[in-house]
Chain A
Amino acid sequence: MSNNSNKGFFDRVMLLDRRWVFLVLAVVVVSTYYIPMNVPVPASREVQTIFDAIEGLEEGQKILLAIDYDPNALAELHPMTYVIMEQCFRKKVGVIITSLSQNGPGMAEQAILDIVDSTALPKTYNGVSYPGREIVNGVDYAFLGYRAYFELVITGMGQNFRTFFSRDYYDVLLDSLPIMKDVQNYDDIEMVIDISGSNVVDAWIKYAAARYDVKLALGLTGVMTADYYPYLGSGRVFGLMGGLLGAAEYERLADNPGLAMDGMKVQVWAHLTIIAFIIIANIGYFGSHKKRGL
């Protein structure tokens, strides 16, 4: 058992109970959440390319939106799904939705229901007024659901969506859905946007982008983002949204501020707090070492 009473300032800093860090961070996050404040979120090139690609689509064209994350990644990835889905529905771009993560169908269904409600209301984005309209399952979107062994499913969809998805999530025959009428495989869609919090993204890169030359963009959790930048450099993916920042950038571009933009002001203060803790810890580390002549 240690006793801090005989220790100097630097030693006490080194022995700081980590729960102080939790407490200070919690107080900072909660308090700054309620302070009205705007932080600038300039869009990066890799997010701008995704936005431009979807914005450039015409009515009736189709994309595949892969919702490959579980509730544990909801905080970062749900805002991406919401903003992209709404952008597509507003522009009358068909959305084919798959969910190859185990608990992903629930995420996808929640997003669909919320965006269907949202699109029913008239809105103005980037100066363009969109009237509210009813989004119809099978016409405006198709939710294909989950299939096990995502590598094989992604490969199989390159030949025909019906190989693995003869029926959609609601047990309706794919052939009876108007949106799927002219869709056989990846050749019949404009791009794939994979919003992923797991290694399903590797399969999309390999088995869809590399094997079938599918135009692929990614929305990833912050933890994963740095690992996938090389694919942006090699051109295998054309856009990348990283974590809450990527989602906030997209929301700003789409002029549709949501939970991500809302969270960025808190991020700024939380990061400043963590930087302060890192500096204090380093002062303690070097100070205590110097004192001992190490």
Chain B
Amino acid sequence: MNPVMELGDYLWMTFAAFLTLATFSFLYKDNPLYKIAEHLVVGVSAGYFVIILYYGSLKTQLVEKLYDGQMVYLIPLILGVLMWTRFSKKLAWVSRYPIAIYIGIATGLAIPLEMQTKVTEQLQAMMVELHWGNLFDGGLLNYTNSFASLIIIIGSLAALIYFYFSKEHKGWFGGVATVGIWTLMLGFGASFGFTVMARISLLINRVQFLDQWRITSVGSAHQEGSGSYTAVYILILVGIFGLLAFDLIRTKGKTDTDLT
């Protein structure tokens, strides 16, 4: 990316950097800067969506078709308008008709495909052919093929048994149920690991963005005074970290829960 950009773009980028820092200021505590950033996100998102919805859907899918004389589109228009009767206590019952039609269509479309993708095909995927001869590969467990299949079969059956509540979880049945809950825990662990990675990714992205802003700032100054831009950047980071550390030391003995 060319570090030198138009002044307008650079100002927007600087504003985005300010909003990033304002959002992170919530980690210190709730404050007006954070509120500004939060309200801007909600307001801008809602405004953007309204425009996208009108030009992307209402205009092309309804208004233009009606102008073209395709009167069949009056039906969805009427159904859509009827939805608004929910705001009248007297006429709210009318909105049930368009809702019923929408739910009917959505359910009809979804149920067979839900069954297919989430039940039938998952059962088929479990019914794998085990090749006992391939359980080991070069003296090691063949975890990419046969051993993985064995794990899937044992894990799935054990997890299903854990959710079988008509028999007390004792004896061999309880043992299998314990294997089931361990399988579930492994699944939750994988989800937790991915979630941690996702959250850290957001932080990394903001650090990358702030660094890009710093590089762009240096570029915008055409190298003149580039050192001062970097110094400002370092000062901001040290200032934020220092403020948080100072407050943590100052409020020693009080948890953040006590403070709020």
Which residues of A come within 8 Å of B, CB atoms?
1-5, 15-20, 22-23, 25-27, 29-30, 33, 45, 70, 72, 74-76, 102-103, 105-106, 114, 145-148, 151, 155, 164, 166-167, 169, 205-207, 209-211, 221-223, 225-227, 230-231, 233-236, 242-245, 259, 262-263, 266-267, 270-271, 274
| Residue from the list B56, B61, B208 in contact with A33, Cβ < 8 A | B208
- Residues on B with beta carbons closer than 8 Å to the beta carbon of A1: 254, 258
In the complex the two chains form, is B113's CB within 8 Å of A145's CB?
Answer: no
Which A residue sits closest to B113, measured CB to CB? A206
Q: List 5 A-B contacts (CB under 8 A).
A: A16-B255, A74-B205, A147-B61, A206-B117, A211-B113
Which A residue sits closest to B197, measured CB to CB? A222
5 A-B pairs with the lowest CB-CB distances in the bound complex, closest first? A222-B198, A75-B205, A234-B125, A206-B113, A222-B194
Interface-located stretch among B92-100, B164-172, B218-226, B240-248: B240-248
Per-residue CB contact flags for chain B residues 24-67 toward chain A (1 = under 8 Å, else 0) read 00011000000000000000010011001100110011000000
In the complex the two chains form, is B256's CB within 8 Å of A19's CB?
Answer: yes
- Residues on B with beta carbons closer than 8 Å to the beta carbon of A105: 52, 56
Alpha-carbon distance A226/B254, docked complex (angstroms): 38
Alpha-carbon distance A106/B195, docked complex (angstroms): 25
- Residues on A with beta carbons closer than 8 Å to the beta carbon of B117: 205-206, 209-210, 231, 234, 236
- Residues on A with beta carbons closer than 8 Å to the beta carbon of B48: 102-103, 106
In the complex the two chains form, is A151's CB within 8 Å of B125's CB?
Answer: no
Alpha-carbon distance A270/B61, docked complex (angstroms): 47
In the assembled complex, B91 has its CB within 8 A of some CB on chain A: no
- Residues on A with beta carbons closer than 8 Å to the beta carbon of B27: 19, 22, 26
In the assembled complex, B137 has its CB within 8 A of some CB on chain A: no
- Residues on A with beta carbons closer than 8 Å to the beta carbon of B237: 30
Which A residue sits closest to B252, measured CB to CB? A4
In the complex the two chains form, is B248's CB within 8 Å of A17's CB?
Answer: yes
In the complex the two chains form, is B253's CB within 8 Å of A2's CB?
Answer: yes
In the complex the two chains form, is B60's CB within 8 Å of A148's CB?
Answer: no
In the complex the two chains form, is A226's CB within 8 Å of B191's CB?
Answer: yes
In the complex the two chains form, is B113's CB within 8 Å of A207's CB?
Answer: yes
In the assembled complex, B106 has its CB within 8 A of some CB on chain A: yes
Alpha-carbon distance A234/B56, docked complex (angstroms): 35
In the complex the two chains form, is B114's CB within 8 Å of A233's CB?
Answer: no
Q: A17-B255, A242-B194, A271-B196 are contacts. A148–B248 as well, Cβ < 8 Å?
A: no
* Least Cβ–Cβ distance between B147 and chain A, in angstroms: 15
Which B residue sits closest to A229, measured CB to CB? B190
In the complex the two chains form, is A29's CB within 8 Å of B200's CB?
Answer: yes
- Residues on A with beta carbons closer than 8 Å to the beta carbon of B255: 2, 15-18
| Residue from the list A22, A210, A266 in contact with B204, Cβ < 8 A | A266
Which residues of B come within 8 Å of A, CB atoms?
1, 27-28, 45, 48-49, 52-53, 56-57, 60-61, 106, 109-110, 113-114, 116-117, 121-122, 124-125, 144, 152, 187, 190-191, 194-198, 200-208, 211, 237, 240-241, 244-245, 247-248, 251-256, 258
In the complex the two chains form, is B114's CB within 8 Å of A206's CB?
Answer: yes
Alpha-carbon distance A4/B55, docked complex (angstroms): 59
* Least Cβ–Cβ distance between A45 and chain B, in angstroms: 8
- Residues on B with beta carbons closer than 8 Å to the beta carbon of A75: 201-202, 204-206
Q: A102-B49, A206-B113 are contacts. A235–B56 as well, Cβ < 8 Å?
A: no
* Least Cβ–Cβ distance between B90 and chain A, in angstroms: 29
Which A residue sits closest to B203, measured CB to CB? A29
- Residues on A with beta carbons closer than 8 Å to the beta carbon of B56: 105, 145-148, 169
Q: A25-B203, A102-B49, A263-B201 are contacts. A164–B61 as well, Cβ < 8 Å?
A: yes
* Least Cβ–Cβ distance between B113 and chain A, in angstroms: 4
In the complex the two chains form, is B205's CB within 8 Å of A27's CB?
Answer: no
Q: A4-B253, A148-B56 are contacts. A243–B61 as well, Cβ < 8 Å?
A: no
For the A-B complex with A222-B194, A222-B197, A223-B194 known, give 7 more contacts whose Cβ atoms are closer than 8 Å: A2-B258, A25-B200, A76-B201, A147-B57, A206-B113, A207-B113, A235-B125
In the complex the two chains form, is A23's CB within 8 Å of B253's CB?
Answer: no
Alpha-carbon distance A45/B148, docked complex (angstroms): 14
| Residue from the list B110, B195, B258 in contact with A222, Cβ < 8 A | B195
In the complex the two chains form, is A207's CB within 8 Å of B109's CB?
Answer: yes
In the complex the two chains form, is A243's CB within 8 Å of B152's CB?
Answer: no
Alpha-carbon distance A75/B202, docked complex (angstroms): 5
| Residue from the list A4, A18, A234, A266 in contact with B200, Cβ < 8 A | A266
Alpha-carbon distance A242/B197, docked complex (angstroms): 10
- Residues on A with beta carbons closer than 8 Å to the beta carbon of B144: 45
- Residues on A with beta carbons closer than 8 Å to the beta carbon of B252: 4
Determine which residue in B106, B117, B198 has the highest number of CB atoms from chain A within 10 A of its CB, and name it.
B198
Determine which residue in B45, B202, B237 has the highest number of CB atoms from chain A within 10 A of its CB, and name it.
B202
* Least Cβ–Cβ distance between A62 and chain B, in angstroms: 22
* Least Cβ–Cβ distance between B178 and chain A, in angstroms: 21
